[in-house]
Structure 1
């Protein structure tokens, strides 16, 4: 526009309250960029109260996937509601705080925009949207245990009553007679580990594998075996009460059959607890608990045909807003199937002998509790 055309144009000044209302309705990616606009916007967007208000506006929640391709040592953020072939919906993530060539990285869950990572037996809490991160010190309780103790359950969640994030882990000695389970949690607000005493649990995993907790309704959930009764159950840890309970599996669910030929994976589908029975070279079954903690509400909702899926393997991750099911195919990438279990899309991100790891996270500007020393 020519200068002479600018004559008579008046500047418009918006009240700060209106600016805040506008900013609260923008996505995180835009807000991170807009910190550079001016000192006022930097101050507003960096304010923890603004971050909380922004996160609590459910209308702007944007869920994405963090995908780890171990063969490439690459992390990616993916909008799973977009087409898998849309390059603009995927972006590489930098994790400069990890060793340049870590021996092994494992995703152990996500909560309120933060992702829990395990790298070389060192835990890290990380916000993929802002890059803020914190290393969780190694548990002195586990360090003092007999070396035969094995940590087989991990979880990461939020206690709204104390505004605190908790890293939960359960360990036992597979060589013992009773598989007595010890549970401890790390409070990011207190910056300390604490063991939950006075519990009498006896859980085990047949294959001595590590299970990652599924976060729903303020509680962490794992599928595991009760050693004393030799039955499989869903174990529930209430993050506010610091207490355990159990949810029975479907009545017609033959867990022994599935352990012989397949494996079971607990997850969240929509707003419901789900079990994905992953078959090797055969169909994958997805069961959903339509009414929380009601055993009779378990329903086999989807059977995914793997005939057209690379490696003939499918493991559920999440569902899109349109109802498609997103999953991983082991070593070949991500897959989308419709609600009838039919293949819609497939995309590979790298080729290698090890499988992908993924978790769903919500974009946020949130910071960790003030008791935590953050790094950026």
Structure 2
């Protein structure tokens, strides 16, 4: 038998991947890590159009890993730089591949003291509390898109403001709520003694709505002065330390626009005396509570079924934790549970702790932490938040 030469056809100018049905291309792109997807926008106008579509954003969001977004803070100069770190792959990748540095393409005004309020579905809420107009920005740091919310001229005097960003599961709309705090003097006419009490009013803005802030009146619960990084099940959560009503977990639901009490672990009782530092957060898509004391270590509780009081479970008990802070308690805030089972925690607001339940608690500075995760060390201070990569 003689060998036959089979003629070959001339290759198309377009790649084989370009010729695939759009649905298959979407399936492939939606499963890519954010760093690769960021580069895919440059392949062709067709791919850019697919990636920029809002429906693709929702598809990719449902499959995206949780990442850590860092905003470096330079004491002597201003910066718009953001760093997105995929901690799930940080253990096994080259330092330059484990993080994606963004210098945002959008030209929002350079804020004096811009802060990351919180993130929701990969979108960021930024504000500048030093500006008299107190501007608020909602931005997508990857696409480089942002909107500026209308300036809110609150009626009356107030001492401080707090902002929270969330998503309504009821209407599929993003909303921003702003709290105006004021110290009010109350006089006990029996004792003729006065005392201070902090009260708050709230106004809410619906993105894509009428373009107006709506007054919600007085907030029925005490607000603690910290960022709201505990968005889960359509609501932001915080701990109430004044015990002005049974239970100590409070929330604001962006769907119903109502404040309410969330059931706490049964073991805590109605008015649990806290043993040290405590915070509320979100771990593995569940509401969580972290409690730390010098004598008892760290307890981490998780609410496996939202709203079900009996679903609270003490998932992690970390003993033999050394307190290094003189005259007070160390600050531990769980951020996320990695695929390896390790827990990433914020430590004293300026460092990170990586706890391996199989080993011990590793305490290290920011630089050492990033060396541990095979990430390039960063010499600057930073402000961080947990986010899901979103286009």
TM-score, L = length of structure 1: 0.77
Matched length: 344
1:325 Cα deviation after fit: 0.7
Structure 1 segments of 4+ aligned residues over 6 angstroms from their partners: 308-312
Deviation at 1:99, TM superposition (A): 5.5
2:299 aligned counterpart, secondary structure: strand
Contact 1:112 / 1:361 at 8 angstroms: preserved in 2? yes
Aligned with 1:76 (options 80, 83, 86): 83
Please state if 1:222 is matched with 2:231.
no
Matches of 1:31 and 1:217, distance apart in 2: 28
**1:106 corresponds to which of 103, 111, 115:** 115
C-alpha separation in 1, matches of 2:74 and 2:114: 11
Is residue 2:163 matched to residue 1:175?
no
Q: 1:348 to 1:181 in 2, by over 3 A?
A: closer
1:189-240 Cα distance to aligned partner (Å, 9 max, x none): 123211224x6614244xxx234151111222121245644x6521122221
Deviates more, 1:167-176 or 1:249-258: 249-258
Residue number in structure 2 paired with 1:212: 228
- More deviation, 302-311/243-252: 302-311
SS at match of 2:58: helix
Name 1:201's counterpart in structure 2.
Answer: 220
Structure 1 unaligned segments of length 5 or more: list them. 366-376
The Cα offsets for residues 286-314 of structure 1, whole Å up to 9 and x where unpaired, read as 22223322334433332335757987653
Structure-2-length-normalised TM-score: 0.74
Pair 1:242 & 2:268 matched: no
CA shift for structure 1 position 43: 2.6
Secondary structure class of the residue paired with 1:339: coil
Who is 2:312 aligned against? 298
Residues 71 and 252 (structure 1), Cα distance of their counterparts in 2 relative to 1, 3 Å cut: farther
In structure 2, the CA distance between the partners of 1:307 and 1:17, relative to structure 1 (3 Å rule), is closer
| 1:298-337 alignment runs, 5 A limit | 298-305=312-319, 307=321, 314-330=332-348, 332-337=350-355
Work out the CA distance in 2 between the residues paired with 1:175 and 1:85: 54
| Residues 234 and 248 in structure 1, CA contact (< 8 A), matched pair in contact too | yes
Return the alpha-carbon distance in structure 1 between the equivalents of residues 177 and 232 of structure 2: 15
Q: CA deviation at 1:317?
A: 1.1
Matched residue, 2:3: none
Aligned-residue offset at 1:111: 0.9
Contact 1:29–1:129 (CA under 8 A) maintained in structure 2: no
Q: What residue is the counterpart of 1:192 in the other structure?
A: 212
Q: For residues 68 and 276 of structure 1, do their structure 2 counterparts lie closer, same or farther at Cα, with a shift above 3 Å needed?
A: farther
Q: CA deviation at 1:66?
A: 0.8
Computing the radius of gyration from Cα coordinates, the structure with the larger value is 2
Residue 44 of structure 2: aligned partner:
38
Is contact 1:155-1:167 (8 Å) kept? yes
Contact 2:247-2:261 at 8 Å conserved across structures? no
- Structure 1's 40 and 107: CA in aligned 2 closer, same or farther, altered over 3 A? closer
CA distance in 2, matches of 1:172, 1:81: 39
Measure, in 2, the Cα distance between the counterparts of 1:83 and 1:305.
27
- Name the structure 2 match of 1:19: 25
Contact 1:317 1:326 in 2 (8 A): yes
Higher relative contact order (CA 8 A, sep 6+): 1
Pair 1:162–1:84, CA change in 2 (3 A): same
